[in-house]
Chain A
Amino acid sequence: MADNGDEDSAYRIKQGDYVVLKRGDIFKAAQIQPKKKVIFEKQWFFLDNAVGQLFSTTFEIVSGVLHVRKPKDAESSIDAKEVGTDNRNIVDDGKSQKLTRDDIEALKEQGLDGQEIIQQLIENSSTFRDKTGYAQDKYIKKKKKKYENTVTILKPSCRILAMMYHGREPGKICHLRYDTLAQMLTLANVHAGSKVLVFETCAGLVLGAVMERMGGFGSVIQMYPGGEPLRPGVESFGFPSHFHDMLHDFPICRVNALLAGTLKTTAKDPSADSKPSDMPAEEMIQPEGEQQGSPEEQGTDTNSPTDGADEQEKEEQDKRREAKAHERKVKLEEKRKKLAAVAPLLEGRDADGLVIASRFHPCPVLMNLLKFLSPSRPFVVYSQYKEPLIECYTKLKEQGGAINMMITDTWLRQYQVLPNRTHPVLLMSGGGGYLLSGTTVTTDRSKPAGSQQAVEPAPKRQKLTDTEG
């Protein structure tokens, strides 16, 4: 009760905030930008009026403008005085609704709000009175869904974004269902102060979820495929800027070099730091870093001068090329600095957790990244399919270094709970993907364990591995 006006400011929607729009069970992420048109659930509107309002406020959309919904509207339910007992006299003749589609359109154009339209529909329905109370409820609910033009603006959270992605764009997150994501965060013991490795191609949803659970304490290292880490979903979380200080990234294509200890060229960067425009700096990184992109670029570069273009054009081209080269150099330099900064975080091979959820085959990813974990740390691998996880399981069992391995999935069932009408929701999600989880342990090769193994009687060992399965 210590809340006062000032404290409210933390809960008010500001310009530039990332928010989530909600109507019924439908979510959509958006950013509050001046005069920006948003389309949501077949309606368009501007978010400008939301600025200064509290999060979780419900708005009425009137010709593209948001108005705070008056609290009385929310509760003024449509009362039906008469109810029927059963449907023995209700005949589907298609004529029960007296209003035509055109009539309804006309009502809409008159500027009637959803509530009023629904009232009209009820009054013009000849069968409504004969329906049972439950059927009347259902009718109203259905019409509300169609004609009510409200939107609620929420503060983003892992719960909301995970549900949103699963509902809207499951393909972008490898069909990772939100309950599966919840399992991953727990099984990997993600918490403040630890050092967690994440490899994901789920638009940044998994990365954002890990970051939310760490609250800006500790470090998250995103291992990314390709040229740049892609994480549009992380933005939607609207993290405070200091959260980004704990986020690091490392290109997965350098993992082999790092493990082999040959990443030195890029690591000894202080020298290059002092003269960032030096040509050798670029050459140094070329053979390792830009292998994929460079042949093509070089090709076009060498072609252009021989074309015999006139002087001026050539000069301009040169300039542009120089500028471009410079830009690239600066970018490469930045990239290298980042790499030099993140490499030591991995080199200690003392990470506290590993989370994998990608469209790539999980087996090689897991086998390589597991090497960066301390012993007695949890790991969790998501896959949309079970078979690659069986392969991971088998390979890890052979190789050792992990125990307590389990392949699981979760089954999620929602319920409708209403007086006398409680039952499971009719449609449920078919599958939310599979998880392989486990704990790292020291491998036999390390120090004393090796000698002990030799001394141990064979039958005992056999027995232990049997029970482990």
Chain B
Amino acid sequence: MSFVEYSDCIQAGDVAIIYQSHDSMMPVKVQQGAQTQTRYGVIRHSSDLIGQRYGSKVTCSKGGWVYVLHPTPELWTITLPHRTQILYTTDISMVTMMLELKPGSIVCESGTGSGSLSHAILRTIAPTGHLHTVEFHQQRAEKAVEEFKEHRVDHLVTVRNQDVCKEGFGVTGVADAVFLDIPSPWEAVRHAKAAMKRHGGRLCSFSPCIEQVQRTCEALTDEGFEEISTLEVLLRVHDVRTVSLPLPDFGSDPSAQPQPDSAEKPTPPQTSTTLKTTTPPREVPGHTGYLTFATKPRT
């Protein structure tokens, strides 16, 4: 397994996703002799996981079962250990397309944070691209390096522990795309420009507050960025339900019985109808952040 390449069977050292239910998944590092507790009992890695096919059902000690899934950046995003607030798949999808990421892209990112977006970028730019990611928090930077190695994508990424607003990305003139998720992105705009290829590229900045967007757009305009556009994308989930709607009883309708003799046994009136429909969850995230995109023209 690797986050950029599928494999069929689980091996020692892999990261696998244990699926207990739609809202209960967890990543496990597969190791000989190791055990994992689930709500259905224990899973023994040597016998239950290693050598099994990804996607198989694994019976736990208490008789219940779980599925074991091949890791993907999307599954990682919903199971990863949070060290910071993270970007979720809906925003990540938009960022990936609007930054025009594809195999071979050179990307700069800051901050690395919990690495949710990083994994999605790496998946998309592999096998020929590279990610330069900058995280000023030393512990987080170290943790990210460790994870990238564990997930076998470390050959595609360079983590730098520095302040992007002061020291930039550590590279110049190489990036096709830059992504900023920092509190003061306007301070990093000129570094972003310097990191990008001479012939141009795309930039994205993610900010929760409109004041941040305002200042970033000003900085982008000042630095000569074009096609500046801000948008927001929200996911709506539709839960499938079978609902039953009761029908009111209007009492017997005398005009509906033209043949009185056949009305010996009136069919009992229908009391409800059922249908398949969807309902929105009771509470949904209403805002994640504004995404500001821009194009750096050729300089």
Contact = CB atoms under 8 A, between A and B. Distances in A.
A390 B57 contact: no
B65 A378 contact: no
**Secondary structure of the B side of the interface?**
mixed
B93 A3 contact: no
B23 to A, nearest CB: 8
A192 B105 CA distance: 12
A433 B67 CA distance: 30
Contacts of B231: 412-415
Interface residues of B, number: 78
B67 A192 contact: no
Contacts of B20: 467
Interface in A194-236: 194, 212-217
A1 interface: yes
Contacts of B295: 56
Contacts of B292: 417
Contacts of B69: 376, 439, 441
Nearest to B89: A186
Contact of A403 (B6, B67, B72, B73): B67
In which size bucket is the chain A interface?
A: 35 or more
Nearest to B128: A215
A189 B123 contact: yes
Interface string A136-174: 000000000000000000000111001000000000000
A410 B214 contact: no
B282 interface: no
The SS class assigned to the A binding surface is: mixed
A376 B199 contact: no
B64 A415 contact: no
B146 interface: no
A386 B297 CA distance: 41
Interface stretch (B160-168, B235-243, B244-252): B235-243
A158 B97 CA distance: 7
A3 B236 contact: no
A377 B69 CA distance: 8
Contacts of A415: 213, 230-232, 290
A162 to B, nearest CB: 7
Interface string A450-465: 0010011100100110
Contacts of A377: 6, 55, 70
A238 interface: no
A249 B75 CA distance: 30
Given A186-B92, A422-B213, A464-B64, 10 more contacts: A182-B94, A186-B120, A189-B74, A192-B126, A374-B6, A375-B55, A391-B276, A411-B233, A452-B65, A456-B64
24 contacts: A1-B172, A8-B199, A54-B199, A179-B94, A182-B98, A185-B96, A185-B97, A186-B93, A186-B96, A193-B126, A213-B124, A352-B6, A376-B53, A376-B69, A407-B237, A407-B240, A408-B235, A409-B236, A413-B233, A414-B230, A415-B232, A441-B67, A442-B55, A469-B240
Q: Which 3 A-B pairs have the closest CB atoms?
A: A375-B55, A215-B103, A376-B55
Interface of A: 1-3, 8, 11, 54, 56, 157-159, 162, 178-179, 181-183, 185-187, 189, 191-194, 212-217, 350, 352, 374-378, 386, 390-391, 393-394, 403-404, 406-415, 417, 419, 422, 434, 439-442, 444, 449, 452, 455-457, 460, 463-464, 467-469
Interface of B: 4-6, 8, 19-24, 40, 53-57, 59, 62-65, 67-70, 72-74, 89-90, 92-94, 96-98, 100, 102-104, 120, 123-124, 126-128, 172-173, 197-200, 210, 213-214, 217-218, 228-240, 276-278, 290, 292, 295, 297-298
